[in-house]
Amino acid sequence: MKTNLSVNIGKLKLKNPVMVASGTFGYAEEFKDFIDLKSLGAVVTKTITLAARKGNPAPRTCETPCGMLNSIGLDNPGWETFVKEKLTSLKKLAVPIIVSIASETGAGEFVELARRIDRIKEIAAIELNISCPNIHKVHGSCLPAGKAGFIVHGKEIETQLIAQDPVSTYKVVKAVRAVTNKTLITKLSPNVTSISDIASAAESAGSDAVSLINTITGMCINTQTRKPKLGAVTGGLSGPAVRPVALRMVWQVYKKIKLPIIGMGGIIDSQSALEFFIAGSSAISIGTANFVNPKSTIEILKGLEGYLIKHNLKDINQLIGSLNL
């Protein structure tokens, strides 16, 4: 039986719904010896900022039960180097390229990055990363407890994480929407009281889709030294441990908005991927699993096709939001 795996994310049509999550796949070159990159539905780049970032102090990762903590701090080469050294190889992939962007200095940087990306036809879409939990610590300086934002050259900039507030989310998405016609995907944080309210704000502001969830803030302690296992003390929890939370949030957002949802959070095989489609995801993004099994995306893709054939379903879209209650 012939099956249809293509899905639409805004104006973007993907030949299949299996993507790779920002920050877990580098700039794709790192995985070319493991899989056929052309078989992916889309590639989401490592998040970039206008200026280069060194990121957070080491150690930056540690294992946890059923997952991992990371506190990379958006380490990236900056826009100019990205264009000169990374974009050339990305253009050759023959799959949609989604560039993830973040800001060190407020909404204006998101707008400027989006404006520059809008001029590059080979970039298919923008992921607006308003939800990274690991950017509040720079050069050993922390914001006050309970706040999240940026410290640049010793000056505190923007003390509230955009993704934790519907009004801030609306303003940033609206500003970015005004400067680009590319498909705009807003990446949401799970570290909120009501993720549905944030998703609704992004929808009202003109986002074409939302992706969720980003990592959950957590920490680990070395009991022998009584010191944090991460140099930045806290980090983002990912992997199978967060899957139940991610599924619950995808289901809640699916009931609240009409936009396509890109689901992520602990997807390691086709069975866990199927849960996200049934909960309401139109596509999925594979993250931590890439570190454990570089071929996980391809295995998941084959598993999805096998499931459709076994259950006599012709189209992956028949699964979206098909939860029986």
Interacting residues of 183 by C-beta distance below 8 A, sequence separation 6+? 9, 10, 11, 12, 98, 124, 125, 126, 208, 209
Kindly report, residue by residue over 54-87, the tens digit of the pLDDT: 999 999 999 999 999 999 999 999 999 999 999 9
In this predicted structure, the answer to whether residue 316 has a pLDDT above a threshold of 80 is yes
pLDDT of residue 144: 32
pLDDT of residue 130: 93
User: Look-up: residue for tokens 């502001």?
Assistant: 205
pLDDT of residue 183: 98
Choose the catalytic residue: 62, 66, 132, 142.
132
**Separation between Cα atoms, residue 201 and residue 209, nearest integer Å:** 12
Interacting residues of 214 by C-beta distance below 8 A, sequence separation 6+? 129, 131, 132, 133, 163, 187, 188, 189, 190, 236
Residues forming beta bridges with residue 263, ordered by sequence position: 212, 284
pLDDT of residue 104: 86
pLDDT of residue 158: 42
For range 223-246, the mean pLDDT: 97
Is the CB of residue 279 less than 8 Å from the CB of residue 267? no
Is the CB of residue 80 less than 8 Å from the CB of residue 86? no
Structure tokens at 321: 């939001």
pLDDT of residue 134: 60
pLDDT of residue 1: 83
pLDDT of residue 152: 34
User: Look-up: residue for tokens 């100019």?
Assistant: 80
Is the CB of residue 249 less than 8 Å from the CB of residue 223? no
Catalytic residue at 66? no
Kindly report, residue by residue over 278-305, the tens digit of the pLDDT: 999 999 999 999 999 999 999 999 999 9
The domain ranges of the chain are 7-56+74-218+237-318
**Separation between Cα atoms, residue 98 and residue 184, nearest integer Å:** 9
**Separation between Cα atoms, residue 97 and residue 120, nearest integer Å:** 11
For range 218-242, the mean pLDDT: 97
In this predicted structure, the answer to whether residue 211 has a pLDDT above a threshold of 60 is yes
> pTM for the full model?
0.92
Residue bearing the bigger pLDDT, 146 or 184: 184
**Separation between Cα atoms, residue 150 and residue 155, nearest integer Å:** 8
Residue bearing the bigger pLDDT, 160 or 8: 8
Kindly report, residue by residue over 146-179, the tens digit of the pLDDT: 333 433 333 333 434 789 999 999 999 999 999 9
pLDDT of residue 132: 76
| Record: fold of 7-56+74-218+237-318 | TIM Barrel (3.20.20)
**Separation between Cα atoms, residue 44 and residue 305, nearest integer Å:** 22
**Separation between Cα atoms, residue 187 and residue 134, nearest integer Å:** 14
List the Cα angle 176/71/261 in 5-degree steps: 45
Within a 10 A sphere around the Cβ of 171, how many other Cβ atoms?
Answer: 15
Residue 27's pLDDT band (boundaries 50, 70, 90)?
very high
pLDDT of residue 147: 35
Kindly report, residue by residue over 254-282, the tens digit of the pLDDT: 999 999 999 999 999 999 999 999 999 99
